[in-house]
Amino acid sequence: MNYASSSAPRLLVRSLSRKSVRTRAFSCTPRCRAAAAAAAAAAEASAEPHDIVVIGGGPAGCTLAAALASNAAISSTHKVTLLEASSMAKLAEWAPNPDEYSNRVSSITAENVAFLSDIGVWGHLDATRARGIEEMQVWDGLSDARITFNSPTLDPHDPFSPHSTAPIASTSSRTPNIAPMATLIENLNLQRACMRALEGAKNLDLVDNKKVLSITSDSSGWPIIEVGSGVESETTRKLRARLLIGADGFNSPVKAYSHIESFGWAYNSQGLVASLRISPAEMGIGMTTAWQRFLPEGPIAFLPLSDTASSLVWSTTPELAKAIKQLPLDLMTRLVNAAFTLPYASLSSFLSLLTSASRPTDAELSDSLEALVAPLQAASVYEVDSIPDESPPKIESIQPGSVAAFPLRLSHADSYLGMPRGGRDLRTALVGDAAHAIHPLAGQGLNMGLGDIQSLLKTLETTVQNGGDVGSYNALKSYPRARYIPNHALLSTCDHLASLYGSQLSPIVWARSTGLEIVNELDSVKALLMGGAGAKTKGRGAGGWGVVADGIDSVGKGVKMARMVGGMALGQVMSRLGGGLAGRR
């Protein structure tokens, strides 16, 4: 499967693929075809029969395997296999140093916390490494317009009270009777919890340290997955799947086998991540609050993991990400603190120095940053007695070895199911990153995947209870019907916001800032937004909409207000911006 940013390259790939297939068919003699048929028959005969094969042992794949194993209707009648290229034993034995944290973390919404509890995973998490988020601060780096979200109060007598089935989520919150709007955990913590939940599971086969070498189909159209270490002399293993599910990431072999194209593009951005250590003087202060500042280069987020640790996610240009990674850790620490507190004009001047062709030495950069930060230090920005909601707690250091960067992209598969070919079902489905990739500004990537898993699990359970074939396209159709449009809406919203907040045009800055400020004064509107962001509101589950995405997307309200007071020129600017973004579709 080739990643494409427009329809033309995708069509080119298809035509080349068809041509190569025709060439091979034409050059094959009857004897050759007979030999190939015999080989296929032999492979089919040697393939081990499996009902449901999940490829990919990441957070989504592990969770899907645990969900299938926990479902009595499915696990009692269908054999489930989880296939992973790396060691699953290492995941089960993960025992990190209490003072060290992984740089890959996820925000789990209240609805997904409840789901993970229902399938027996959440109780296996290390609760000391799970942090409930009670507040979120989001602000514009140019105007300082801010919106604040607070968790609802927990009512034990309310049947819709959040986390009523998820005690760890409540204990990860520091404030009694406050239901976290979301919970931050390391991905490894979730994966280990899944492995523990799978211990002793019946009708489950874990196949690890085996790569997917090929996926072909047998005479009935069932997928045959050949796996092995890749060593030429090693004997490979073949699995025959009634249903093959790809939880195998963006470059999904299952997606390629299924001939599923993707729509999207790569952003000119990278996600810079690191594990942060907090100053002892500020231990616990603000450490149930997630902070995100929107800078023109991209948003920077402070995501607390404990009283003394936090995770950094800074979406920025590849050039800037590379320059930051090359800094000594002490200077990088000071820069991250400055990125949350310095006026943008000052911060921008330093970032320009950092990426200039005649880049100053580290010592010169240190002096330049000190000169910019000194006025803030004199004003006691980080003093405990200062206003607590202006910026996150001061970072003392960055954990060695935790700094990394990865490319950001938008991608959405054309289908979540392999379409029937030649009158036969392809028997494949996609979940998580294999189906979609999203900008991290709303922290909804894994939540989208968990939503996929819930929907697919319900579809498979219904099929089994009705005596149907779990690999049948007709039986699986309800899964993409439930998930495709909500996922696409969230992908589109985050893409628009990334573009909107990358602008420095004064009218646009004013409009988005007005939107934030208006919504911040409307508690009822914020409560509705939180219902789709992580915290459940009465009678409504937390869907796939992220709090940041929903909150900032309310900039439209600001534009309407601007028009009401005569800002027609601004309305025209925003309309043109919206038209330009729509044109990228």
Where exactly are the structural domains of the chain? Answer: 265-406, 498-583
Distance between CA 302 and CA 128 in Å, rounded? 19
**The model's pTM:** 0.81
24 φ/ψ sector (left φ>0, alpha ψ -120 to 50, else beta): alpha
* Superfamily per CATH, domain 265-406: D-Amino Acid Oxidase, subunit A, domain 2 (3.30.9.10)
Q: What tokens were used for 418?
A: 């392999």
Residue 328 phi, psi dihedral angles, 5° rounding: -60, 150
Q: What is the pLDDT, as a whole number, of residue 263?
A: 93
Q: What is the pLDDT, as a whole number, of residue 521?
A: 58
Closest listed residue to residue 351, CA positions, set 378, 372, 329, 380: 372
Distance between CA 534 and CA 531 in Å, rounded? 7
Q: What is the pLDDT, as a whole number, of residue 40?
A: 58
Q: What is the pLDDT, as a whole number, of residue 546?
A: 43
Q: What is the pLDDT, as a whole number, of residue 199?
A: 94
Residue 499 phi, psi dihedral angles, 5° rounding: -75, -45
Whether 346 has a pLDDT exceeding 90, the answer reads: yes
Residues 6+ apart with CB under 8 A from 240: 44, 47, 48, 49, 50, 218, 222, 223, 224
Distance between CA 238 and CA 203 in Å, rounded? 18
Q: Considering only 485-489, 494-498, 531-535, which range has the smallest mean pLDDT?
A: 531-535
Mean pLDDT throughout 298-308? 94
Distance between CA 439 and CA 488 in Å, rounded? 12
Mean pLDDT throughout 502-514? 67
pLDDT band at 117 (very low <50, low <70, confident <90, very high): very high
Q: Are 293 and 139 in contact (CB under 8 A)?
A: yes
> HSE on the CB side for 313, CA within 13 Å?
25
pLDDT digits (tens, 9 = 90+) for 247-281: 999 999 999 999 999 999 999 999 999 999 998 77
Mean pLDDT, all residues of the chain? 80
Whether 575 has a pLDDT exceeding 60, the answer reads: no
Of the chain, the percentage scoring pLDDT greater than 90 comes to 59
Closest listed residue to residue 252, CA positions, set 488, 58, 67, 420: 58
Mean pLDDT throughout 98-123? 95
Q: How many CB atoms lie within 10 A of CB 390?
A: 16
pLDDT band at 576 (very low <50, low <70, confident <90, very high): very low
pLDDT digits (tens, 9 = 90+) for 200-251: 898 999 999 999 999 999 989 999 999 998 787 688 999 999 999 999 999 9
Mean pLDDT throughout 335-340? 97
Coil, helix or strand at residue 287: coil
pLDDT band at 146 (very low <50, low <70, confident <90, very high): confident
Distance between CA 328 and CA 333 in Å, rounded? 9
Coil, helix or strand at residue 564: helix
DSSP-assigned letter for residue 160: T
pLDDT band at 493 (very low <50, low <70, confident <90, very high): confident
pLDDT digits (tens, 9 = 90+) for 350-403: 999 999 999 999 999 999 999 999 887 666 555 444 334 578 999 999 999 999
Longest dimension (CA), the chain: 86
pLDDT band at 175 (very low <50, low <70, confident <90, very high): low
